[in-house]
Structure 1
Amino acid sequence: MKRNRITLYIDLLFCLVIIPLAIMLLPVDRWITNNTAFLITLVAYVYILYFVYRLSCIPKLFMQKKYIRIFILLFILASITELLTYFPMPAEHITDDIRQMTTKMNIRKQTIWFFFLIVTGFSLAIELTFELFRQIISKQEIEAEKNKAELSLYKAQINPHFLFNTLNTLYALVLSGSEKTESAFVKFSDILRYMYSQNESELIPAEDELNYIRQYVDLQKLRLNHHTNVFLSINASSGKILIPPMILITFVENAFKYGTSSDTDCKIDIKIDINKEKLILETENAVMKKPENKQPGIGISNCRKRLDLLYPERYKLENGENNGIYRVKLEIDINN
């Protein structure tokens, strides 16, 4: 719709401003008197030529490699233009002054070809510009669809990864016969309900994601003994801020995966701060377990890819181990 409006404005500019101004450069008064039919024919031809170019869209034909069609079109238009230069002048208006002027300068022929070149150049420039915009918009749409598909894939990979680890927690509670098992399954069902209710959502209120993280942390606490202390601090000045679902849980999950112990004192510290400008997540945990391989986990890898797609050049992610302590700091500019 917007492009059609721009096209209309350009057509009006050409037809109502540029062409009338160009015609005013001609000896209109003399031509109206001496050869009215020629002047009317010339003006009509200029407008017809312009819309022929606009409808044929030569740059698009060129992109499609339809060179023969372009050649035929230009040949026909050039031939018609040349024929127009032989437009007869009424004998009664041919004076010695006019005959002398025609002999020396051949104004009429130059004028016809001048208008032909002006219309051709303007039309091709406009169509070339529109074709470039079409190519850019098409690439952007393709890239947007690709990014959307990738986001869906990454979210689909995150969910099974999370479920696998959570089921291990429930399994451990069942084996131990813990009285916390029933409460754990209630929390787990709430988590599942949240995960699949937000599965198709690109953005959700921050308060929903924060409640989800609280439930997850509570679920993890049920399986931990006194050796692991968990501290969760959430400061959300605006819970209505929209954020991507399941974007924070991977870092929280990894803190529990590698930072807990059943026989050694350890601590997990999670801080989340959300305001209208930024989202900041910080986690800190002692490294109690090492991954079996040294390759980055699928969860963090997918989070990085999602962040690249959702917040290009608008986030900072620092994570790493130092002196046996693993720290993560994620900062997202959510104001843009």
Structure 2
Amino acid sequence: MKTPSQSQLRQTIYFQLFFWTALLLFGTAKMYGEYNGMIFKDVFLYNFCHWIFQIIGANFIYFILIRYFFDRKRYIEFSLYLIISLYLTSVMNRFFIVYIAEPLFINKLKDSVFDILTDIPYLLIHYTFTIISGAFIFISIMFFIRYKDEKGRTIKLQKEKTELELQSLKSQLNPHFLFNTLNNIYSLSISHSDKTSQSISQLSDILDYILHKGQKKWVTVSDELSILDDYIALESLRYHDERLNIEKHIRLNSPNTIPPLLYLTLVENAFKHGAGKSSETTEIKIDMETNDLHSVFKIENTFSSHQTADEKGIGLQNIQRQLQYHYQKNFTFSISQENNIFKVEITTPSHYD
């Protein structure tokens, strides 16, 4: 059982005010068409008395019996208490009418207490069924509201969970990259290389991108490609020229957007499973094209003959989950390998939200 929040309490109060007022007005309008004069007045007073106990009975059944017994699957106790509560509410309703309400507007012989307590058929027809009719409508609507609220909370929690997972995915840039890059920059600084300051600037740009634009939902393809250049330049410091062959073909015909770090993760994956696990020359080819409808990113890398490409690696699984989060089913993500060449292709809409 969860304690209702103040907003839920206000919502319930407003609903009850509206529902019971509407029910009274509807019943009054219906009676007005059937009765007139003193007869209408008497019938209205009787129905008003029933209306009060409809409210009491419906709220007791929903907030006590349903919430504390039915929701906890204590069905036998619920059924027993429901029968008892309907009987007692019907008896109290009849007592109220006979001994409090009727003396105010009619002079008739009062029913005995024994008759009120024991005349079950009369209680059922004139009191219990009236209480049940109002309670049934009220409880049905309350169940609908509750289902809607719980569904909304479930969707909200799922969204928050997914967003937290996404933030975790975005933060999974290989820590070995940072460690190796710092080592390489340190080596450059010892040798007084001209590349030292440039490498520091590139690393700074990558970290700034991850910390700031990496937290956004969308970035431009050009921004992502720019950071890829910095990443490739820093990774290339680890290898001699003959160990690495990189080709890029970029055709940006439209300023499309993508989730941040999407392509960066693929490039990192290509270095990790290509040059990072082979002493042979590694080739990495990047092909990027945008148009008014789609963004198509292709990347392939060679790997050594004794190495088995992992098509279900964590990096690729993360990309799959990011794509599903951002695009649902409106994307293509294909992975293939042939003749020691590992290929990945992603096609996404030009813009999507």
Q: What value does the CA root-mean-square deviation take over the aligned residues?
A: 4.5
Shift in CA distance, 51/258, structure 1 to aligned 2, threshold 3 Å: same
Unaligned runs of 5+ in 1: 93-105
Q: 1:141 maps to which residue? A: 156
The TM-score, its normalising length taken from structure 1, stands at 0.72
Report the alpha carbon displacement of residue 294 of structure 1 after superposing the two structures with TM.
5.3
Identity of aligned residues (%): 21
Report the alpha carbon displacement of residue 160 of structure 1 after superposing the two structures with TM.
2.2
Q: 2:91 maps to which residue? A: 79
The TM-score, its normalising length taken from structure 2, stands at 0.69
1:109-168 deviations in whole A, cap 9, x for unaligned?
856555423211110100111111222122222222322332233233335254246457
Q: 2:118 maps to which residue? A: none
Asked if structure 2 preserves the Cα contact closer than 8 Å seen for 1:85 and 1:108, the reply is no
Counterpart amino acid of residue 209 in structure 2? Y
Asked if structure 2 preserves the Cα contact closer than 8 Å seen for 1:269 and 1:283, the reply is yes
User: How far apart, CA to CA, are the structure 1 residues paired with 2:229 and 2:128?
Assistant: 77
Report the alpha carbon displacement of residue 42 of structure 1 after superposing the two structures with TM.
1.8
In structure 1, the residue corresponding to 2:171 is in which secondary structure? helix
1:322 is the counterpart of 2:338? yes
User: How far apart, CA to CA, are the structure 2 residues paired with 1:211 and 1:51?
Assistant: 68
User: How far apart, CA to CA, are the structure 2 residues paired with 1:293 and 1:167?
Assistant: 28
Of the structure 1 ranges 190-199 and 318-327, higher mean CA displacement relative to structure 2 is found in 190-199
Shift in CA distance, 21/197, structure 1 to aligned 2, threshold 3 Å: closer
User: How far apart, CA to CA, are the structure 1 residues paired with 2:306 and 2:132?
Assistant: 74
Q: 2:178 maps to which residue? A: 163
Of the structure 1 ranges 303-312 and 247-256, higher mean CA displacement relative to structure 2 is found in 303-312
In structure 2, the residue corresponding to 1:33 is in which secondary structure? helix
Matches within 5 A, 1:224-263: 224-225=240-241, 228-239=244-255, 241=257, 243-260=258-275
Counterpart amino acid of residue 36 in structure 1? K
Matches within 5 A, 1:5-44: 12=18, 15-16=21-22, 19-26=24-31, 30=35, 32-34=37-39, 36-37=41-42, 39-43=44-48
Report the alpha carbon displacement of residue 314 of structure 1 after superposing the two structures with TM.
3.2
1:165-184 deviations in whole A, cap 9, x for unaligned?
64576578679986544433
Report the alpha carbon displacement of residue 324 of structure 1 after superposing the two structures with TM.
1.8
Q: 2:54 maps to which residue? A: 49
User: 1:189 pairs with 193, 204, 208, which one?
Assistant: 204
In structure 1, the residue corresponding to 2:143 is in which secondary structure? helix
In structure 1, the residue corresponding to 2:272 is in which secondary structure? helix
User: How far apart, CA to CA, are the structure 1 residues paired with 2:88 and 2:95?
Assistant: 11
Shift in CA distance, 164/36, structure 1 to aligned 2, threshold 3 Å: same
Report the alpha carbon displacement of residue 329 of structure 1 after superposing the two structures with TM.
0.7
Counterpart amino acid of residue 71 in structure 2? M
Q: 1:63 maps to which residue? A: 71
Q: 1:95 maps to which residue? A: none
User: How far apart, CA to CA, are the structure 2 residues paired with 1:287 and 1:293?
Assistant: 8
Shift in CA distance, 166/47, structure 1 to aligned 2, threshold 3 Å: farther
1:11-66 deviations in whole A, cap 9, x for unaligned?
647634x5544444447664741473552352364267348746984354443579
Shift in CA distance, 162/204, structure 1 to aligned 2, threshold 3 Å: farther
User: How far apart, CA to CA, are the structure 2 residues paired with 1:270 and 1:26?
Assistant: 79
Matches within 5 A, 1:64-213: 71=82, 74=86, 76-83=88-95, 86=98, 88=102, 90-91=106-107, 110=125, 113-160=128-175, 162-164=177-179, 166-167=181-182, 170=185, 180-213=195-228
User: How far apart, CA to CA, are the structure 2 residues paired with 1:205 and 1:198?
Assistant: 10
Asked if structure 2 preserves the Cα contact closer than 8 Å seen for 1:270 and 1:281, the reply is yes
1:239-296 deviations in whole A, cap 9, x for unaligned?
463x332122121122233445999666422123345644322112222476589584
Counterpart amino acid of residue 208 in structure 1? D
Asked if structure 2 preserves the Cα contact closer than 8 Å seen for 1:187 and 1:215, the reply is yes
Query: Paired residues, what number?
Result: 321
Of the structure 1 ranges 212-221 and 50-59, higher mean CA displacement relative to structure 2 is found in 50-59
Asked if structure 1 preserves the Cα contact closer than 8 Å seen for 2:31 and 2:44, the reply is no
Counterpart amino acid of residue 244 in structure 1? P
Shift in CA distance, 240/279, structure 1 to aligned 2, threshold 3 Å: closer
